[in-house]
Chains A and B, each alone.
Chain A
Amino acid sequence: MKPPPFSYHNPKTIPEALALLGRLDNAKLLAGGQSLMPMLNMRFVLPDHVIDLNQVDGLSYIREAGEEIEIGGMTRQRDIEFSDLIRKKCPLMHEAILQVGHRQTRNRGTLGGSLCHLDPSAELVTVAAALDATVLVDGRNGRREVAFADFPRSYMASAVEPDEILSAVRFPVWPDSHGYAFVEFARRHGDFAIVSAAALLEEDGAGKILRTSVTIGGVAAAPVRLPAVETGLKGAKASPELFREACEAYRKIDALEDVHAPKSYRQHLAAVLSRRALEAAHARAQQRPARH
């Protein structure tokens, strides 16, 4: 349970880090270390080089960027948890982050690290999918933008290439009046969710659904959204019956099966948790001030 030998690098700038990535073979980027360090301790990974991003300037911030919120890749989960801007403009992320690990891991864990690690059950991955985030990736040829729908490539593998760095993520902001909810089922508080559901809901004053986003985490290699369900809800009047019927679609997802839960149980949770998330989001949409 000790990390294997490696060479350690602590660049101070992104260009320096990119140069190291380009030059060194079998290198791993170290962000908050809350996933990589256990993998090193258990020797699931054997890198020749560890490039520590903790001293790189300018990767930790939360700021408004036009209609969106931009968060630096090395921003600690704790800073997201205690950010007034996130609580106000992106309450779904605030609700989700309280369920990410524990106090001690949120103090170290980062947004970018969580997204690049891409655990199928990670709350922040589900939130990024729910909000249609844009991932900003730096490489030798400059910066490129990746829509989050294209970010997961396969199981725990992201669109960030081995010689690139996730430098920031932009999250679109929903109107102040929107309803939101992040619900999950986990064995213990702070564990990865077996299944999670994120719901966003924009309604008119009479409860008619103008726009919605429903995302299921933990059921597949990447978060699942079913555009047909979201479009189907649009224009309908929110009600428990509507949500119950619509969410049956999530029972048909081709779900993962592992030691924690069989496929059928994940499918059941997907249908139940999506309904609960929509109901909670609807209740909040009713309470929050209407748009006009």
Chain B
Amino acid sequence: MAETRKVALTVNGQGYEKEVEVRYTLADFLRHGLGLTGTHLGCEHGVCGACTILIDGRSARSCLTLAVQADGRQITTVEGIAPSPDQLHPLQQAFRDHHGLQCGFCTPGMLTTLLEFLRDNPDPTEAEVRVAISGNLCRCTGYQGIVAAALDAAKRMRETKTAP
């Protein structure tokens, strides 16, 4: 019988208590244990960035984190970015407006990464945005739309004084 542990964590503001196999990655736990399939798994070895989530506000690859390590932590996934079910976050809206996604596979990782980045740096240069998403692979957009969306989102949030 595989070894399990009980974990208690908060995901997108909601508390969960679950028994989890200790070898389970946080990504698999979010997807299979909690049904939050917005977090995508591309490479499963820390290269593609699609599985990026926030742990206590810091971006991390959920395929390189064990679910047991999330015990007691606050997790934010792509499902937790929008302020309400019928309203997009300014960053999401900017992705929509600037063709920041096509197939959408990299999008959850792009959004979570940029959310943390824009908190650290609300007024970035284009070069800084490109470095910030250097750990996220996109095979559709050529990154142009994503960079434009990030810069526009930063501008909109500064103008409306919205916290990322």
Verify B58–A107 contact, CB threshold 8 A.
yes
Which of A2, A37, A188 makes the CB contact (< 8 A) with B46?
A: A37
A240 is an interface residue with CB less than 8 A from chain B: no
Shortest CB distance A83–B (Å): 15
Question: B-side binding surface: helix, strand, loop or mixed?
Answer: mixed
CA distance A189 to B65 in the complex (A): 23
Residues of B within 8 A of A103 (CB): 59, 113, 116-117, 132, 134-135
Given the known interface contacts A105-B135, A107-B60, the answer about A8 and B65 at a Cβ–Cβ threshold of 8 Å is no
Given the known interface contacts A38-B45, A103-B135, the answer about A3 and B58 at a Cβ–Cβ threshold of 8 Å is no
Which of A1, A8, A190 makes the CB contact (< 8 A) with B66?
A: A8
B139 is an interface residue with CB less than 8 A from chain A: no
Residues of A within 8 A of B5 (CB): 8
* A contact set with B: CB distance below 8 Å: 1-8, 10, 30, 33-34, 37-38, 40-42, 50, 52, 54, 78, 101-105, 107-108, 188-190
B8 is an interface residue with CB less than 8 A from chain A: no
B103 is an interface residue with CB less than 8 A from chain A: no
Write the chain A residue with the least CB distance to B72: A55
B 122-150 binary contact with A (CB < 8 Å = 1; else 0): 00000000011011000000000000000
Write the chain B residue with the least CB distance to A102: B135
Verify A108–B44 contact, CB threshold 8 A.
no
Verify A41–B63 contact, CB threshold 8 A.
yes
CA distance A101 to B52 in the complex (A): 14
Verify B3–A5 contact, CB threshold 8 A.
yes
Verify B68–A8 contact, CB threshold 8 A.
yes
Shortest CB distance B31–A (Å): 12
Given the known interface contacts A102-B134, A108-B65, the answer about A34 and B46 at a Cβ–Cβ threshold of 8 Å is yes
CA distance A52 to B23 in the complex (A): 12
Residues of A within 8 A of B58 (CB): 78, 107
CA distance A262 to B102 in the complex (A): 38
Residues of A within 8 A of B25 (CB): 2-3, 37, 41
Residues of B within 8 A of A6 (CB): 3, 22-23
Verify B134–A189 contact, CB threshold 8 A.
yes
B88 is an interface residue with CB less than 8 A from chain A: no
Verify A38–B64 contact, CB threshold 8 A.
yes
Given the known interface contacts A5-B23, A6-B23, A8-B5, the answer about A101 and B64 at a Cβ–Cβ threshold of 8 Å is no
Residues of B within 8 A of A188 (CB): 134
Q: Could you jot down 17 A-B contacts, CB within 8 Å?
A: A1-B45, A2-B28, A4-B23, A5-B2, A6-B22, A8-B23, A30-B66, A33-B64, A33-B69, A37-B66, A38-B46, A52-B66, A52-B68, A101-B135, A102-B135, A103-B134, A107-B55
